[in-house]
Structure 1
Amino acid sequence: MASSFLVIFTLLSSSCYNSVAAYQSSYEVNRNYFGDFAYDFWYWDLAWLVWDKQCSKYNINREVDARITGGDLAAPNMFPYQAGLLLLRAPKIYQCGGVLISVNYVLTAAHCIYMSTRGKVFLGSTDFANPVTSAAVFNVSASDFYVYEKYTLSGGRDDIGLIRLPTPATLSAAVQTIPLARRFMTQSFLEGKTVTTSGWGLTSDGSSEKMQFNLLLYYVDGPVIGMRECACYYLPGLVRSLNHICVSGEGGRGSCDGDSGGPLTYYYNNKNYLIGLTAFGSAGGCEIGFPSVYTRITSYLDWIAERTGIKVD
């Protein structure tokens, strides 16, 4: 328990200490002074107070305020790198998105393929999981799934995984790969810039009661926001600069259930680049204005390259 508090506190108050190592030393000193049991509670209260103080300047309204979800209908071939996924994790079948990054690999969220035993990958269609309109359909199994080794299913970190296609995808106007983010596409570079996400997820919170996923591909644009502000919408330590990118949810626009693993892209020098994968949002709903959180691709470029052989810049 105490180690998780360490991550939370150092994230929120790193300016107070020169290094994590220095803080760990202070942590042990204070633990010895307060005692194990009492210190855990004191430590959590202090971390929470620091988080609350830093976040107060954003005047965040955390009350539910339902709105119509924003977004536009995608035209055919507009997102040729978009993949639709149906995944079996017995006894249920789950919907996710994915991204074609080479003719042999689809990138997606780790939580989509974690513990899944088999699935189907659909390419080249704006219809979800439609074998008639899809340019290609692949049957995949657990041996084709690669979950990032440090992923733990909790905490929203390292939420990235790969699906190896059994045969190479055939490229066409409807099926294209997308280049991975360049290393210089860091938070400071992207902050304030307009980015795009797409998927077949829920288009309103009202549809979540019956889990009525959209059958047509939609997309939405939004600005990348600062990580300090984004972290204030979620529990301390959940959103991390190293692992995530946040996009404003103002106006109820953003990702929702069923969009997981889908692409977050940035248009640069006449080309789309994959900068993120849909990871999570607010448990309170998709239309309440909270930022959508995406796995930051630049943090995993070397892992992707090692697994796939794709050259990264």
Structure 2
Amino acid sequence: MTAGRALVFVLALSWANALPTPGELDFVENVRDVGMPRIVSGWEAEEGQIPYQLSLRMVAKNGAVFSCGATIIHSEWGLTAAHCTAERVTIVIRAGGRALSRPQLLFETTDYYNHPEYDESLTIVQPHDIGVIKFNRVLEFNDLVQPIRLQASADKYKNYDMIRLQTSGWGRTWTNGVGPEVLNWVYLLGTSNARCRAAFGGSPIVVDSTICASNYNVTSQSTCQGDSGGPLVVIDVDGLPSEVGVTSFVSGTGCHTGFPAGFIRPGPYHEWLTEVTGIDFDWDPSSTTPTSPSPPEEDSEESEEGEEDTSSSSSSEEGEEDD
């Protein structure tokens, strides 16, 4: 695979059928690839394993329905990708539980705030792909519903190259494949911005506020259609999880092709987040006591080996358009 072949796509899914020409940036909905269905090459989450994960269903002005992920960052606020909520008229949110058909909470909101430098009128991949959702209710936290801490501003440009990260979502399990009923998760390896930018032929989309991640131990591991807006998580210096990325884009070659997936770092946006929400989400990593996280449990399933990894968009289509 040459860098010239790498196209960057937002992890969204719509019903557009035309393939982009080389070098174009577009939504992941336009990513088309033939493959057997198989997040990609990951594992089903246990109940309560990822209590901060949200599922979104958004309705556009023309009645089209899109699917995305998001995270709980406060009892009244969620974090997602701006392209998920851009120009949507309503958002249905599922929280708690791993199965889409059995959420602990199911509610609707119309309030969202996308970063002012994200242009909602443009249907192309762009930086600042980050936004917040106002729940218009106060969530009661329990074993299945919990917030996640955001990346500290002190670490906003940290190099996560070769650091193990985790992402999750209800997105398709293969390019153009099926969307699961049960939440999936997968390990990824951080990829330096320099290597990520080179993989996409020097694309200007990979900026300082971008974080990229590639497959962990099987080339097909990645996010896919329907995972947009979901979390990229690291075990931080104190042994607790922090969200260091919001799922944004992938290669136009597909979800399982081996190119890095792109995420937006929350760290550079703390000032804006506080301005919009009135809440200070920042914290000081130097004030924490470093601990060694518990060793990971043995993977209950082995990802299929020998599959070619093609990083593709992370949204899943379920008779709906997915962001």
Q: Which residue number corresponds to residue 287 of structure 1?
A: 256
CA contact 1:230–1:239 (8 Å) conserved in 2: no
CA contact 1:66–1:287 (8 Å) conserved in 2: no
- Which structure has the larger Rg? 1
Shift of 1:188: 3.9
Shift of 1:65: 10
C-alpha distance 219-110 of structure 1, shift in aligned 2 (>3 A): same
Q: Which residue number corresponds to residue 172 of structure 1?
A: 142
Distance 1:302 1:191 in 2: 26
Distance 1:194 1:187 in 2: 17
Distance 2:213 2:274 in 1: 26
CA contact 2:212–2:263 (8 Å) conserved in 1: yes
Residue from 82, 88, 97 that aligns with 2:53: 82
Name whichever of 93-102 and 221-230 sits farther off: 221-230
**Is 2:88 aligned against 1:121?**
no
**Is 2:204 aligned against 1:204?**
no
Structure 1, unaligned runs of 5 or more = 1-47, 49-63
- Alignment RMSD: 2.0
CA contact 1:100–1:107 (8 Å) conserved in 2: yes
Shift of 1:223: 1.2
Percent identity over the alignment is 27
User: Cα deviations across residues 121-160 of structure 1 (Å, max 9, x unaligned)?
Assistant: 11102112x3xx212112111xx11111110243421101
TM-score (norm. length: structure 2): 0.71
Q: Which residue number corresponds to residue 160 of structure 2?
A: 190
CA contact 2:175–2:225 (8 Å) conserved in 1: no
C-alpha distance 224-126 of structure 1, shift in aligned 2 (>3 A): same
**Is 2:205 aligned against 1:239?**
yes
Greater helix proportion: 1
Q: Which residue number corresponds to residue 304 of structure 1?
A: 273
- Give the paired residue count: 242
Structure 2, unaligned runs of 5 or more = 1-22, 24-32, 284-323
What's the secondary structure of 1:190's corresponding residue?
coil
TM-score (norm. length: structure 1): 0.73
Name whichever of 270-279 and 66-75 sits farther off: 66-75
Residue from 230, 251, 270 that aligns with 2:239: 270
Give the letter for the 1:234 counterpart. F
CA contact 1:65–1:287 (8 Å) conserved in 2: no
User: Cα deviations across residues 73-104 of structure 1 (Å, max 9, x unaligned)?
Assistant: 10011110000000001231000000000000
User: Cα deviations across residues 147-179 of structure 1 (Å, max 9, x unaligned)?
Assistant: 111102434211011110111111100000111
CA contact 1:65–1:288 (8 Å) conserved in 2: no
